Chain A
Amino acid sequence: MAFLTLKLWSPYWVGIGIGILSWFTFLLSDKPIGCSTAFTRTSGILEQALTGKSVTNQPYYQKFPAKIDWEWMFVFGIIIGSFFSAVFSGNFQLNWLPDLWMARFGMEVFPRILTAFLGGILLGIGARWAGGCTSGHGISGTLQLAVSSWIAAILFFVSGILTAHLIY
């Protein structure tokens, strides 16, 4: 089982693994791999907790009820799976700043957290606006040959590439 402790696997094997995993999500759960609706459900759950008012009358939460579902558990599982992978290979590390960020913007933590928060807001809006993210459109949708997903996935990268070149 030495491969479980390797720090890095070939991206091709990782991709093949994700492809095989998607066979099982379709076969056993009738679900494509996806992540972004879990964040919508979480926002609904938090809004209910913070305001004390039910969100069931809001149209978007009628579409995606503020409840824990398969995809929510899937996203929670990602955190656990990544944690085990990192621990097995000895590279679990609490870390505030990515290297590339530090080289460009310095060692202060707050600007990175604020940027990540603002980027997260755009990402959350964009994912729900497009109806999916890099997993739901980018992997699951494209592998089903969905027209919407190929357009979305290409635009995720075109827009991301242009923005990244403006930042760096």
Chain B
Amino acid sequence: MLKNLHSKKQTQLILGLFMGIIFGFLLQKGGAGKYDVILGQLLLTDFTVIKIMLSAVVTGMIGIYILKGFGLAQLHPKPGSIGMTVIGGIIFGLGFAVLGYCPGTISAAIGQGNLDALLGGLLGIVVGSGIFAHLYPGLQGFLKKGWFGDITFPEYFKLNPWVVILPLCLVIILFFYWIESLGL
């Protein structure tokens, strides 16, 4: 791994900015910064968001597991529990549909000039994050309920990762053919 590069703080801030610019450019070009596109996905009339996410997953997964195989990358799976992942996921979904943006796409929406994102949603997310920070000390016990940690599927099933990756890629590609055949 490029440990030397990873430890250079200033360089990393600039890299973060530069990579964010590319991400924002891609999100805007994909139409993912639009409320109508995101609500269209949640109303199941427009599959742009899922197409973007799953093709990123296929491409990213293959590349990152190759990099890992060569010792050039390490994984950072997030920990989870029933109290944390399930309850948080449900609250997030409520907010996702009510706001019509998520933390990444709202930034793309702001960049393309959506004022509801800048003056309503952005402020809401910052306030919500602050509320969570204040609730956190009292929630810690609940968040650990049903803890399963930062495990990955290949680790859990004790499989070579490629035994999971290749069939999963195939399923995602078949899913793309299916939604395209439905005209979505």
Contact = CB atoms under 8 A, between A and B. Distances in A.
Dominant secondary structure at the A interface: helix
Interface string A22-64: 1111111111110110111011101100000001001111000
B64 A112 contact: no
Interface in A1-34: 6, 8-9, 11-12, 14-33
B54 A15 contact: yes
Given A33-B23, A79-B107, A145-B164, A159 B153 contact: no
Interface string A114-156: 1111111111111111111111111111111111111111111
A88 to B, nearest CB: 9
A161 B92 CA distance: 12
Dominant secondary structure at the B interface: helix
A96 B115 contact: yes
Contacts of A59: 136-137, 140
Contacts of A74: 16-17, 19-20, 23
Interface size grouping (class) on chain A:
35 or more
B20 A122 contact: no
B112 to A, nearest CB: 4
Contacts of B164: 145
Contacts of A72: 16
Contacts of B73: 23, 26-27, 30
B104 A145 contact: no
Contacts of A129: 84, 87-88, 91-92, 132, 139, 143
Contacts of B119: 113, 116
B99 A123 contact: yes
8 contacts: A12-B176, A30-B74, A69-B13, A74-B23, A76-B20, A123-B95, A128-B133, A157-B93
